[in-house]
Structures are given as C-alpha cells and as structure tokens.
Amino acid sequence: MSPQEAQQILDQADLLCSAEKSALAVRRVAGEITARLATANPLVLAVMGGAVVFTGQLLPQLIFPLDFDYLHVSRYGDVTTGGELAWLVEPRTPVAGRTVLVVDDILDEGVTMAEIVRRLRQQGASEVLSAVFADKDLGRGKPVSADFVGVHLPNRYVFGYGMDVRGAWRNLPAVYAVKGL
C-alpha cells in the first residue's frame, strides 16, 4: 500500500479508542496484572508483531520481577481473514513449571490465542494467562477468553495500537475502524 493510500484510509476512518483512553486502559490492565502476578515471577511472552505497542507500554508499569520473551505466530500473513496457524518463532525461554502471561494486541476470533495457550500447556507451563489490548465483540462465543482486557471493540476492521490495516498504522496511539467495514 502506498503512503497516500494509507493516509486516505486513516483520514476516512472512525476513531474508536483515543490515545488517552488507550493509555488509561493499559494502566488499568497493569494494575490488574500486578494484583494477580506480583509474587509469581511470571514469564511474559509478547506475540509478535501486533503486541509490540501494547507490550512496550505495559511492561514499564509492571513493577515486579518477571522474565520476558516473545513468540511469533500468524494466521493472516498479508490477508485480512485467518488461515492456518504458522509458528514462526517459538519462545527461547523454557515454559515448563512457569506461570506464563501471553500478551497480544487483539482477541479477534480467539483461534490464535487458543492454540498458543494449548501449546504452552503442552510444553508444561503450570499456568497460562492472557492479556490483550482489545477484545473484539463478535456476537458469538470464542474458544478462549482473555484474563486481562484493555478495551472492548465492535466487530469492525480495526487498526492502530499494534493492529494494522494492510501492513500500515500499527504505530498509531489510538484505535480506528476502517470506514464502511
């Protein structure tokens, strides 16, 4: 997508969650995670690449000992509908016997997170929790729910705060919805 096309999408988009509301949501989630995991010495795993913004804002607010690593899985590639899950990078840190907190940008259909949780449990994690910046309301059940949620979003094509639209706009401090979708 050209920079002009990306700008046109943003110019026509609907603002769903302002930068201020996003920052407040992260602060609230950090408090909830701290209350639950401050004494657990958890392994925090960021799901690349969407979780970069949320993780980068969340980690400095978790003022307790933790280990950090990442994983990279994808169901989307360059398309907008989910396909088969591809494991691109597994965590280097062993998860066996650990409390693991998986951090991601959005819980959409829940398929990716469900598979991540299943795999980490299979590898021996004692507890697997998840934190997502956004949970999309699909109007139907999901195979997994997040333990910590920043904001709830309508069932629209969203971008910003780590979520992209055709590769663009992950870097926005707010969340937008593509006009008409």
Residue type, 138: L
Residue written as token pair 């593509």: 178
Question: And the tokens for 2?
Answer: 């050209």
State yes or no: is 147 an active-site residue: no
The region that residue 46 occupies, defined by phi over 0 for left and psi between -120 and 50 for alpha, beta otherwise, is beta
d(CA 90, CA 100): 14
Q: 67-74 and 148-153 as β-strands: parallel, antiparallel, unpaired? A: unpaired
Identify the CA nearest to 66 among candidates 113, 109, 112, 103: 103
**Intra-chain end-to-end CA distance of the chain, in Å:** 18
> Of 108, 135, 147, 164, which is the active-site residue?
108
Active site residues: 108
